Amino acid sequence: MPKIGGVCRHVRSKNAGPFWVTVDFFFDSEETFKRYRDSSALGGDLFARLFGTDARLVKRVPVDRLHMIKISYPRPHPQGWIGERDMHSGQQFVRLLEVDIG
Partner 1 sequence: MTDKDGPPGEIKIIVPTGMLGAGVERDHIRYGIACGAHAIATDSGSTDSGPSYLARGVSKMNREAIRQDLEVLMGEANRAGIPLLVGTCGTSGTDAGVDWTRDIAIEVAGELGITPKIACVYSEQALAELIRKNREGKITALPPLGPLTDSVIESCEHIVALMGPEPYIAAIAAGADIVLGGRTTDTAVLAAVPLMRGAGAGAAWHAAKVAECGGQCTVNPRRGGVLMRVGKDAFAMEPLDLGNQCSPESVSAHLLYENSDPFRLTEPGGILDVSEADYRWVDNRMTRVTGSKWEPMPYTMKLEGARGGDFQTIMLIGIEDPEVLANLDEFHDRMQHQLTSRITRTFGAAIRFDVSLRLYGWNGTSGRPVPAGTPPPRDAGVMFVVTAPTQDLANRMAKTCNPYFFHMPLRAGIEMPSYAFPFTPAEIPRGQVYEFVLNHVVRTRDGFELVRTEWTDLAAKAGKA
In terms of C-beta density within 10 A (0-12 exposed, 13-18 middle, 19 or more buried), how is residue 32 classed? Answer: middle
Task: Give CA–CA dist 73/34, Å, rounded.
Answer: 22
- Of 3 and 95, which CB lies nearer to partner 1 in the complex structure? 95
Biggest CA-to-CA distance, the chain: 43
Q: How many CA atoms lie within 13 A of 47 on its CB side?
A: 26
Residue 99 binds partner 1, judged by CB under 8 A: no
Using CB under 8 A, count the residues that bind partner 1: 33
Rule CB under 8 A: which of 22-81 touch partner 1? 22, 24, 54, 57, 59, 61, 63, 65-66, 68, 70, 72, 74, 78-81
Residues in touch with partner 1 (CB under 8 A)? 14-20, 22, 24, 54, 57, 59, 61, 63, 65-66, 68, 70, 72, 74, 78-83, 85-88, 91, 94-95
